[in-house]
């Protein structure tokens, strides 16, 4: 399946070069694009504001790092032309592209690398500053050579360098990060209206290939119906990541549009508070696993779209194991037996869900299925993000919740004992640490072992993987299909 996605991607990328595309009345190619999105950024500074909305708009478009994640989840060079790693896995020598400038004219050099990465530890309060903890020191060898020395070998840090924390900033433009971002990317921000739109213009001085689309408007909608109506009426050209899948079918039969189905990193998770009285017994958690018909949840709450995963690993990660989806087949009798074995009867759990459509829908199916094995789920709907984050995520005051974890490679974070899941397994944590320091092959093996253990111990019920579905005008080419990172990479899109 993924080979075919890759093939299509390559094919569509190849078409970019030779297609004449649609043209305007004057015969010029139409190089303006309007994209409809849902989550709106509150400001433009992802160094201090959490959430996926800002990186989605800015990463790889306005901001760039040394490396980037391509659409299949592979780490590829960006500002670094190439790099070498020492045998002990501690020293990374990056060769940087020459003649790169930031959009305010200041030059990008190895000094910028040192400055940007050293800034993270003390100045970043969001988007995972701890990801760069493995870095011991950064040396400027020459203008185009930067050497990064790690304190311990780490497989995950280079991956994380492809995300927001790896962004290169210029010292000259730090004052207005929230309103006027300056990066080395193919686009610059020309206007931003909070809650309404973000307008990007092609950066004429871009060091690489200038993108086909010269004017890109990201328009923010409050609901998916308005979003799809805008696409149908021609107000927008592309919806990246539709959230209500019952709206998709009307586009499948309409030749004016294309429907692209890819993989996301959003695991829709039925979290159980492992530290709570209700779920501290592994047998009770396993009973829940057997009691839930995940296919039925996906069919009802997600119109059947999605992928059953059974662990917190999407297929774009190398340690994905598709057999885990069948680890706990739907078996209410087995669930009842496990509950009896655990000495639990008449279990009532506080089921606190965010007021998001997929959660409200999914929770009703879960409640119905749990009732069939004698578990009563008291559903409370909490306002998202503020109240849910406070009650469930920060205070851990819940037994069960339902939320999508959208960050890439977030399984390590999920296993931390201090995390809201309350899963406490020193063995798994040790394995994650061992994996990070191991060589590439052992890394994948150990990651697979650790994530499998988490699934076996039912740390949570990973219901399904949210699909990444994009709806686009039929003439658009190179639309990113998967969302392996937080970024919406606009540079490949053409007509």
Partner 1 sequence: MTAIKSETVTRRPAGHGGGATLWAGLVLIGLVLLAAVVSVFWTPFDPEGVFSDSILLPPGAEHLLGTDSFGRDVFSSILRGAQISLLVGTVAVGIAAVLGVPFGIVAGMNPGRLDQFMMRGNDISLAFPALLLAIIFGAIFGAGTVTAMVALGIGTAPAFALIARSGTMQIMSREYLQAARASGKSGLFIGLRHVLPNISGMLIVQASVSFGIAVLAEAALSYLGLGTPPPTPSWGRMLQDAQGYLFIEPLLIVWPGIAIAVAVLGFNLLGDGLRDRFDPRMQVNR
CA pair distance 324, 318, nearest whole angstrom = 14
Find the shortest distance in angstroms from Cβ 259 to partner 1. 16
* Owner of token pair 């649609």: 22
Tokens representing residue 79 in the block = 């500002």
Asked whether position 381 contacts partner 1 by CB under 8 A, the answer is yes
Instruction: State which of residues 98, 104, 176, 223 lies at the interface with partner 1 (CB under 8 A).
Output: 223
Find the shortest distance in angstroms from Cβ 281 to partner 1. 27
C-beta of 175 vs 386, nearer to partner 1: 386
C-beta of 133 vs 299, nearer to partner 1: 299
C-beta of 101 vs 229, nearer to partner 1: 229
Q: Which stretch binds partner 1 (CB under 8 A): 12-20, 82-90, 163-171, 356-364?
A: 356-364
Q: Which stretch binds partner 1 (CB under 8 A): 76-84, 220-228, 330-338, 470-478?
A: 220-228
CA pair distance 354, 155, nearest whole angstrom = 34
Q: Which stretch binds partner 1 (CB under 8 A): 144-152, 242-250, 416-424, 442-450?
A: 242-250
Tokens representing residue 204 in the block = 């004429």
Instruction: State which of residues 74, 125, 151, 225 lies at the interface with partner 1 (CB under 8 A).
Output: 225
C-beta of 22 vs 355, nearer to partner 1: 355
Q: Do the beta carbons of residue 60 and residue 484 sit within 8 Å?
A: no
Q: Do the beta carbons of residue 100 and residue 108 sit within 8 Å?
A: yes
Asked whether position 391 contacts partner 1 by CB under 8 A, the answer is yes
# of chain residues touching partner 1 (CB under 8 A): 30
CA pair distance 302, 267, nearest whole angstrom = 13
> What distance lies between CA 457 and its chain's CA centroid?
25
- Is the link from the previous residue into 147 a cis peptide, with omega within 30 of 0? no
Instruction: State which of residues 57, 80, 224, 289 lies at the interface with partner 1 (CB under 8 A).
Output: 224
SS3 for 197? strand
Instruction: State which of residues 383, 394, 445, 474 lies at the interface with partner 1 (CB under 8 A).
Output: 383
Instruction: State which of residues 57, 213, 339, 361 lies at the interface with partner 1 (CB under 8 A).
Output: 361
Nearest residue to 57 via CA among 73, 41, 72, 71 = 41
Asked whether position 292 contacts partner 1 by CB under 8 A, the answer is no
Distance (Å) of CA 80 to CA 97, 166, 233, 352: 6, 12, 42, 45
Describe the crossing of helices 357-371 and 294-301 by its angle, rounded to 10 degrees: 140
For the chain, give the number of residues.
495
Site for partner 1 in 243-262 (CB under 8 A): 244, 246-247, 249-250
Distance (Å) of CA 6 to CA 3, 163, 317, 453, 482: 5, 21, 15, 31, 10
Asked whether position 299 contacts partner 1 by CB under 8 A, the answer is yes
User: Sheet holding 135-142: strands in order across?
Assistant: 80-85, 91-96, 145-150, 135-142
Find the shortest distance in angstroms from Cβ 225 to partner 1. 6
Asked whether position 389 contacts partner 1 by CB under 8 A, the answer is no
Asked whether position 236 contacts partner 1 by CB under 8 A, the answer is no
CA pair distance 467, 462, nearest whole angstrom = 14
Asked whether position 363 contacts partner 1 by CB under 8 A, the answer is yes
| Residues pairing with 263 in the sheet | 467
Find the shortest distance in angstroms from Cβ 31 to partner 1. 31
Asked whether position 368 contacts partner 1 by CB under 8 A, the answer is yes
Asked whether position 370 contacts partner 1 by CB under 8 A, the answer is no
SS3 for 325? helix
C-beta of 184 vs 244, nearer to partner 1: 244
Find the shortest distance in angstroms from Cβ 177 to partner 1. 29
CA pair distance 495, 215, nearest whole angstrom = 13
Find the shortest distance in angstroms from Cβ 157 to partner 1. 39
Q: Do the beta carbons of residue 219 and residue 196 sit within 8 Å?
A: yes
Q: Which stretch binds partner 1 (CB under 8 A): 141-149, 163-171, 386-394, 415-423?
A: 386-394
Asked whether position 382 contacts partner 1 by CB under 8 A, the answer is yes
Asked whether position 469 contacts partner 1 by CB under 8 A, the answer is no
Find the shortest distance in angstroms from Cβ 469 to partner 1. 15
Find the shortest distance in angstroms from Cβ 387 to partner 1. 5
DSSP-derived secondary structure letter, 17: H
Tokens representing residue 355 in the block = 């007021």
> Which residues form the interface with partner 1 (CB under 8 A)?
223-225, 229, 244, 246-247, 249-250, 296, 299-300, 355, 357, 360-361, 363-365, 367-369, 379-383, 386-387, 391
């Amino acid at each position: 399946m993924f080979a075919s996605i890759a093939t299509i991607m390559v094919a569509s990328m190849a078409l970019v070069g030779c297609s004449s595309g649609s043209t305007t009345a004057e015969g010029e190619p139409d190089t303006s694009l309007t994209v409809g999105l849902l989550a709106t950024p509150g400001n433009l500074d992802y160094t201090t504001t959490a959430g996926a909305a800002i990186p989605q708009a800015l990463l790889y478009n306005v901001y760039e790092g040394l490396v980037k994640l391509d659409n299949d989840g592979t780490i590829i060079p960006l500002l670094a032309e190439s790099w070498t790693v020492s045998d002990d896995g501690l020293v990374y020598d990056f060769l940087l592209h020459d003649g790169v400038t930031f959009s305010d004219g200041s030059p990008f050099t190895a000094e910028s690398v040192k400055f940007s990465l050293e800034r993270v530890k003390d100045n970043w309060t969001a988007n995972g500053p701890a990801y760069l903890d493995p870095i011991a020191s950064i040396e400027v060898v020459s203008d185009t050579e930067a050497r990064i020395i790690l304190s311990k070998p780490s497989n995950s840090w280079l991956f994380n360098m492809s995300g927001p924390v790896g962004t290169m900033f210029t010292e000259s433009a730090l004052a207005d990060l929230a309103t006027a971002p300056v990066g080395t990317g193919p686009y610059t921000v020309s206007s931003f209206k909070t809650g309404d739109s973000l307008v990007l213009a092609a950066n004429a001085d871009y060091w690489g290939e200038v993108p086909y689309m010269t004017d890109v408007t990201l328009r923010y909608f409050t609901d998916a119906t308005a979003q799809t109506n805008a696409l149908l009426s021609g107000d927008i050209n592309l919806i990246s990541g539709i959230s209500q899948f019952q709206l998709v079918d009307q586009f499948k039969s309409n030749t004016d549009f294309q429907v692209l189905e890819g993989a996301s990193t959003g695991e829709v998770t039925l979290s159980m508070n492992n530290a709570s009285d209700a779920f501290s017994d592994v047998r009770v958690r396993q009973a829940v696993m057997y009691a839930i018909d995940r296919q039925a949840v996906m069919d009802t709450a997600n119109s059947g779209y999605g992928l059953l995963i059974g662990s917190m690993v999407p297929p774009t990660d190398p340690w994905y194991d598709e057999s885990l989806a069948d680890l706990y087949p739907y078996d209410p009798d087995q669930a009842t037996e496990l509950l009896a074995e655990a000495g639990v009867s008449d279990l009532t759990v506080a089921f606190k869900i965010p007021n998001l459509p997929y959660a409200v829908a999914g929770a009703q199916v879960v409640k119905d299925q749990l009732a069939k094995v004698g578990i009563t789920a008291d559903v409370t709907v909490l306002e998202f993000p503020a109240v849910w984050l406070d009650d469930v995520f920060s205070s851990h005051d819940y037994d069960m919740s339902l939320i999508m974890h959208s960050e890439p490679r977030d399984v390590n974070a999920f296993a931390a004992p201090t995390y809201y899941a309350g899963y406490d397994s020193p063995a798994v944590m040790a394995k994650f640490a061992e994996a990070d320091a191991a060589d590439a092959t052992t890394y994948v093996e150990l990651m697979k072992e650790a994530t499998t253990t988490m699934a076996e111990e039912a740390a949570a019920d990973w219901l399904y993987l949210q699909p990444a579905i994009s709806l686009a005008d039929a003439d658009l080419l190179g639309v990113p299909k998967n969302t392996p990172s937080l970024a919406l990479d606009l540079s490949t899109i053409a007509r």
